[in-house]
Structure 1
Amino acid sequence: MASEIEISAMRRALDAARGVGRTLPNPRVGCVLLTPDGREIAVGAHHGAGTRHAEVDAISHAGAAARGATAIVTLEPCNHRGRTGPCAQALLEAGVARVVFAQTDPDRSAAGGATTLRAAGIDVEAGVLGEEATELNREWTLAVTTGRPFVTWKYAATLDGRIAAPDGTSRWISSEAARRDVQTFRAESDAILVGTGTILADDPRLTVRDTADHPLPYEKQALRVVMGESAIPSQYRVLDETAPTLLIQSRDPADVLHQLADREIRHVWLEGGPRLAGAFWNAGLIDRVIGYLAPSLLGAGRAALESDATTLTDKRPIELHDLTMIGPDIRIIGSPDRAQREDVD
């Protein structure tokens, strides 16, 4: 059983993983090396595809002190050679005596590190703070287990659920504070998806932009994805050189996600109009909802979602995870509860 010292070290490893930012298409991983008596030797973290994995990063800082150490890792050490070598082998070569990890690797192509380590005589313990580690890589975990990207749908609406007035005007329903908040969430995704209708109507740039309180590096721009069959003229901003752009001539959400999965996209940030959102919602392909509700009423105009519901029993429950005031707006974060549909009272 993991000691209190090892559990505390796992929390430091999780903090190290969180502090890196986006590492997609790879997971966030942190590693702490401890001496046999529990003193910290080194901390490592993975910084993205092609960079050192967290275990190797920690070993590189520790040097010879890694021999006989305990490695505390947020994800099961990988057992395959991709852009870098297998972490299980790196730990063996470094001479660690014990490995404690949180989340079992759900990626079948990389899993098996624990088995390799045990076969070599290493003491291995799994599942320490496993729920916290799995939540840290929620989007990546779903992507590698289902074969499609995790989808976050974001919208901004009035209190009566309107995203645009009857004349089509929609800027700006939410406050500047809410729009700044969106940038932080956008930065966590590796693709921003809209339909051709949104591009032609609003000419958005679809980039992550710096904010005064949260500067975001431009080199980490997400892939801009536009789905639909209408042509996009070359002067539209989504086709500029600020970020890469992919045009997919399809209206089928499942087909689009399949194409993005082939490009190793793990987390899609879904924006755009109610028709596009409804297509993903009706297909059961929305995994998280982030809504910004402005303290105002329209009483008419476009609703946030066009679904196939025809009666009250067609409503689908949302499990709320967070309710926060962002400036004057209310931010709601939740996920669809696919296991149940509420009964009508």
Structure 2
Amino acid sequence: MAATARLAARARPLARPNPGVAALVVQHGRVIARGWTQAGGRPHAEAMGLAGLAPAALAEATLYVTLEPCAHESARGPSCADLILAARPARVVIGQLDPDPRTSGAGIARLQTAGIETRLLDDPASAASLVGFLTRQRAGRPWVTLKLAISLDGCIALADGTSQWITGETARAHVHAQRARHDAILVGGGTWRADAPRLDVRLPGLETRSPQRVVLTRGAAPDGVTAISSPEAIAGLDSVLHLYVEGGAETAAAFLAADLVDELHLYTAPILIGDGRRSLGALGLASLADAHGRWHLHERRQLGSDQFTAYLRSRNS
């Protein structure tokens, strides 16, 4: 199942507005087919994985899929539960229950009623691969990642606002790769007016993956850009499952104060700025105790001379 979840990364973000699901077909310990949700959301992962397999190959095979097969009818194609029933694999292992009320539990029930051995796991790797979809379904908003590029002393720019470049080329390339994995990218109105950032992907071969651009402002939206007036308004960003927030300091603080940041990406450069612009504005904390227990380390890696650290929000605090 962990391998299936890793495969799902190929579907992100092209599968939107559908979740990026992956499927593996395994026979006698050997992977004989695989699939993931295609661009625009169709075909689904199960359809890709089962396509072209003979019934004899499936009779002793297990289908692993990260999300419960859909059970509702669609004008865009048959339900995955129907496809699986027609293919008749020996068993189906599912990483996560689908929270969509059109399917939730119904896909599993149909497979079990038809006599196909079906097992539902609460698989963390599958949940992580589906985190944008699950957050949209359960919280009514996209999964939010906040990115900050800072000096060792916590600055994002010189006192005059100069910020190009805090980090080196390797770290900046990593940021562009992160942009390519997100549906939309957001900056504050001050950053937009001061820097006119392109907010695109400039990695060779990935230029077409540039995300939708969003500005946090009470003013009018620039051409080709979506404007929202508050962090909470991200709920209205249609088809956005993963939102990448790049700043500046007041915008970052606004999202943190609203407790809307799920993942924090810090790019720390080995430089000292001193009297520079701080990375965050006021967060509204009443005591140091309120700051503890909110974040846990998820990933750390070296990017040239810079260090990348990712933290996940601990939602039990």
TM-score, length of structure 1 as denominator length: 0.83
Q: Tell me the percent identity.
A: 38
Distance in 1 (CA, whole Å) between partners of 2:152 and 2:174 is 19
Amino acid of the residue matched to residue 26 of structure 1?
N
Q: Does structure 2 conserve the Cα–Cα contact (< 8 Å) formed by 1:196 and 1:232?
A: no
Distance in 1 (CA, whole Å) between partners of 2:51 and 2:95 is 22
User: Displacement, 1:295?
Assistant: 0.7
Q: Does structure 1 conserve the Cα–Cα contact (< 8 Å) formed by 2:159 and 2:276?
A: yes
Distance in 1 (CA, whole Å) between partners of 2:92 and 2:217 is 49
Corresponding residue for residue 314 of structure 2:
337
Structure 1, unaligned runs of 5 or more: 1-9, 234-238, 341-345
Of residues 164, 170, 188, the one that matches 1:177 is 170
Residue 187 (str. 1) matches residue 174 (str. 2): no
Structure 2, unaligned runs of 5 or more: none
Amino acid of the residue matched to residue 200 of structure 1?
R
Distance in 2 (CA, whole Å) between partners of 1:70 and 1:339 is 36
Distance in 2 (CA, whole Å) between partners of 1:174 and 1:40 is 41
Corresponding residue for residue 36 of structure 2:
45
User: Displacement, 1:229?
Assistant: 2.1
Distance in 1 (CA, whole Å) between partners of 2:286 and 2:26 is 59
User: Displacement, 1:314?
Assistant: 3.8
Residue 328 (str. 1) matches residue 308 (str. 2): no
* Aligned Cα root-mean-square deviation (Å): 2.2
Residue 120 (str. 1) matches residue 114 (str. 2): yes
User: Displacement, 1:115?
Assistant: 1.0
Corresponding residue for residue 229 of structure 1:
218
User: Structure 1's 76 and 232: CA in aligned 2 closer, same or farther, altered over 3 A?
Assistant: closer
Corresponding residue for residue 301 of structure 1:
276
Q: Does structure 2 conserve the Cα–Cα contact (< 8 Å) formed by 1:42 and 1:61?
A: no
Residue 158 (str. 1) matches residue 138 (str. 2): no
User: Displacement, 1:141?
Assistant: 1.7
Say which SS state the counterpart of residue 57 (structure 1) adopts: helix
Distance in 2 (CA, whole Å) between partners of 1:109 and 1:245 is 33
1:1-345 pair list within 5 angstroms: 10-22=1-13, 23-35=15-27, 40-65=31-56, 68=59, 69-82=61-74, 83-111=76-104, 112-127=106-121, 130-211=123-204, 215-216=205-206, 218-231=207-220, 239=223, 245-248=225-228, 250=229, 252-254=230-232, 256-260=233-237, 263-306=238-281, 307-316=283-292, 317-340=294-317
Distance in 1 (CA, whole Å) between partners of 2:26 and 2:250 is 53
User: Structure 1's 231 and 104: CA in aligned 2 closer, same or farther, altered over 3 A?
Assistant: closer
**What is the aligned length?**
311
User: Structure 1's 271 and 71: CA in aligned 2 closer, same or farther, altered over 3 A?
Assistant: same
Distance in 1 (CA, whole Å) between partners of 2:239 and 2:103 is 15
Corresponding residue for residue 343 of structure 1:
none
Q: Does structure 2 conserve the Cα–Cα contact (< 8 Å) formed by 1:165 and 1:300?
A: yes
Distance in 2 (CA, whole Å) between partners of 1:273 and 1:67 is 53
Distance in 1 (CA, whole Å) between partners of 2:145 and 2:298 is 14
TM-score, length of structure 2 as denominator length: 0.89
Distance in 1 (CA, whole Å) between partners of 2:221 and 2:64 is 50
Amino acid of the residue matched to residue 18 of structure 2?
N
Amino acid of the residue matched to residue 269 of structure 1?
Y
Amino acid of the residue matched to residue 315 of structure 1?
A
Q: Does structure 2 conserve the Cα–Cα contact (< 8 Å) formed by 1:50 and 1:84?
A: no
Q: Does structure 1 conserve the Cα–Cα contact (< 8 Å) formed by 2:99 and 2:137?
A: yes
Amino acid of the residue matched to residue 276 of structure 1?
T
